[in-house]
Amino acid sequence: MLSITKFTKTILSYILIFVIAFGISFLARSEVFGLTSVKQSSMENTLVEGEKVFINKLAYKFDDPSRGDIIIFMDWERKKEGFWGSELGVFIYDLTYRLMDGEPLMRYVKRVIGVPGDTIDIKGGYVYVNGEKQEEIYIKGLTEQRTIEFPITVPEEALFVLGDNRIVSKDSRVFGFVNYDYVEGKVEFRFYPFDKFGTVQ
- Domain membership flag for residue 66: yes
**pLDDT at residue 96, as a whole number:** 58
Q: Which domain holds residue 8?
A: 4-75+106-192
Top-confidence range, 14-18, 96-100, 195-199 = 195-199
Q: Model-level pTM? A: 0.73
One of 57, 110, 140, 186 is an active-site residue; which one? 110
Q: How far is CA 22 from CA 5, 154, 182, in A?
A: 26, 39, 24
Residue 144 within a domain: yes
* Domains identified in the chain, total number: 1
User: Is 72 within 8 Å of 107 (Cβ atoms)?
Assistant: yes
Query: DSSP E strands: which ranges in the chain?
Result: 33-37, 52-56, 70-74, 107-114, 119-123, 126-129, 132-133, 152-153, 158-162, 178-179, 183-192, 198-199
Check pLDDT > 80 for residue 181: yes
Residue 71 has pLDDT above 80, yes or no: yes
* 8 occurs within a structural domain: yes
**What pLDDT score was predicted for residue 101?**
54
Q: Are the C-beta atoms of residues 128 and 120 closer than 8 Å to each other?
A: yes
Active-site option among 30, 42, 169, 172: 42
**33-37 and 126-129 as β-strands: parallel, antiparallel, unpaired?**
unpaired
Which secondary structure element, helix H or strand E, spans residue 114, and what is its range?
A: strand 107-114
Residues 133-173 have pLDDT tens digits of: 999 999 999 999 999 999 999 999 999 999 999 999 999 99
Is the pLDDT assigned to residue 33 strictly greater than 80? Answer: no
For residues 22 and 160, which has the higher predicted lDDT (pLDDT)? 160
Percent of the chain with pLDDT strictly greater than 70: 71
The pLDDT of residue 88 is: 60
The answer to whether 39 is a known catalytic residue is no
61: annotated active-site residue: no
- Domain assignment of residue 91, yes or no: no
Domain membership of residue 89 (yes or no) is: no
* CATH code of the domain covering residue 185: 2.10.109.10
| pLDDT digits 0-9 by tens, 80-126 | 555 555 556 556 655 555 555 555 556 789 999 999 999 999 999 99
- Residue 37 CA to residue 53 CA, distance in Å, equals 6
